[in-house]
Chain A
Amino acid sequence: MKLHYDWRLSRVIDGDGVVHDEVTWTGKRSAGAIADRLWDLQRGRLSPEARTLAERFPDAQADGLGAMSDADWPALDDEESKLFEAAAPILAKRGVADAAGDTDRRLDMLVSAAAELRSAWTTSEARCVEWTGLFLSEVDLDAQRDDIPPAVAGADSIDSAATALSVNPPAHSPSEVEWQAIREHARGVVELTDRLAAHEDAIRALAHQHVPSLAALIGPLGAARLVTLAGGRERLSRMPSGSLQVLGAHAAMAAHRRGAPPPKHGAILFSMPQISRSPRWVRGKIARFLAGKASIAVRCDHFGGETWDEEKVSEIHKETEAIKARFPRPPKRR
């Protein structure tokens, strides 16, 4: 005995194709109501009619693909077709709207936007510094670097910019329109700086909420980038720690497949001071250790484990110090 069903009706059929019982949906039919039914069916649930029949025939085997394969299954009439055709897009639209509820997608937008902003900022900021430096030859481009864009943006002439940076006025001044261009450019840099800061604050907040343990271990920005690179928190938490260790080292991994030595760590792990400030011969060991801890942390976050506190994280960092202490000297080259 088999139980076949679709959104309209349900049937109990025996091995010879004889219909033993049938229940048809008698409620008010609308596209929205059909969409609700399709939603349930897609998740593998029985329709209410199928449930009624399942109670009447407890030994009937429910088969979700049965109705579709059944040659005797009644075809949709015109009105049903019309309602069904209206229902499918409703469900699809619902799914599209629900995409905004997915924190992974939101984090991805934020992280990508911040990465693009940062790359724009680096270019613009460097240009602003060089441009100002061309006119104000006495400005220290290293020590005063951070002061240059706001000083130029807030000045009303190159001379007042020179005063703001406490240097002598330039030997050659830009023309009025040229100065306008320099100042607008500097304003753009200042604005980019603020926007980048706002983006990163948003990432920090979202990361602390989405992956609290991982954020505590490797910092919220790094944690967010790891999630984005892996394609979501779930994927990151299912990833072996060896894969997590080399996230962000695509080029090195591609080279490794062609015979180069494997990368020790990806870009995100490297940005942690525990790795980048360690001597080169222990970086691989620490990266391996931290990647292992990070993959446990993200699993705690994703599968509802206990969130790591400061104490646990500092314990881990103490252990990285111990690894470093164990290998004070570079290995002998053979």
Chain B
Amino acid sequence: MPKPLKLAWGIRKEGRSLWTRNAVKGVSVRAERRKKDGRNEWRRWDPSRSKVAASLLKTRGSAAALLPESGSTCLYLGSSSGGTVSHIHDNVCGAGNHHGGQVVAVDISPRMMRDLVKLAERRPGLVPVLGDARKPMVIAPYLRGKAEWLHQDLSIGDQAETFVRMTSAFLADGGTALLSLKAASERWMEGGDDARYQHTKGLIENCEHLDLIEVIDISVFEEQHAVFHCVRIP
């Protein structure tokens, strides 16, 4: 048994696997493994089903820097049915939201929202929002303040443009923002996926409020995907 490495309050890494401290004991969100450790229960975070988990394993920098702090305000654009959101919630809110965090999860699909609402009912602090994640006014009424952590995972065209707009509207100074770029969703471009990554990189570097820390290649876990790790310049 490798010694667990603490990445954040409720997130740790054991060898090549990631675990989050389960906020709802005895319940798996999508049939992942659970294990007891003393009084706590840990839930396995599958990197091949979560782009955030994949980037934690693939980053060349500090994995802890990619994660939100407990008790912070987080915005998750494109939450789908809430697999990754549940792990983020484990860390940010904890059981019964004793950290006092807020995770706003936005998705446009009613089918996914159905599952997300069910998840949110058991997890105080998780706010489900049904709506277009590209429209700031759809999200603003739900946020209690600017987000310290933001993740965008939308499979639409113009992902980078949306990311720049949304971070400028919602990301707090010094806040961390992750963009999961699905190359296959972007328009056709001469040079294929690499050109799309370069285009995105250029857009982020040219905008004044973001500092690009690292482009994490997660193609091992998720084909044609890269995660852009950014920090808002104060």
- The residues of A with any CB-CB pair to B shorter than 8 Å are 6-7, 38, 41-44, 64-65, 67-69, 73, 75-76, 85, 88-89, 91-93, 95-96, 98-99, 257
Contacts and interface: CB of A to CB of B under 8 A. Distances in A.
Contacts of A98: 110
Contacts of B111: 99
Chain B residues touching A, majority SS? helix
Contacts of B144: 68, 75-76
A95 B188 contact: no
B131 A42 contact: yes
B169 A65 contact: yes
Chain A residues touching B, majority SS? helix
Contact of B140 (A64, A75, A93): A64
Contact of B146 (A38, A69, A88): A69
B117 interface: yes
B136 A65 contact: yes
Most buried by B among A44, A88, A98, A99: A88
A65 B188 CA distance: 34
Interface string B101-133: 000000000110110110011001101111100
Contacts of A43: 137
B137 A42 contact: yes
B182 to A, nearest CB: 17
B142 A38 contact: yes
A96 B142 CA distance: 18
B124 A92 contact: no
Given A88-B120, A88-B127, A89-B120, A6 B141 contact: yes
A65 B142 CA distance: 11
A7 B144 CA distance: 11
A73 B141 CA distance: 13
B128 A68 contact: no
B203 interface: no
Contacts of B121: 89
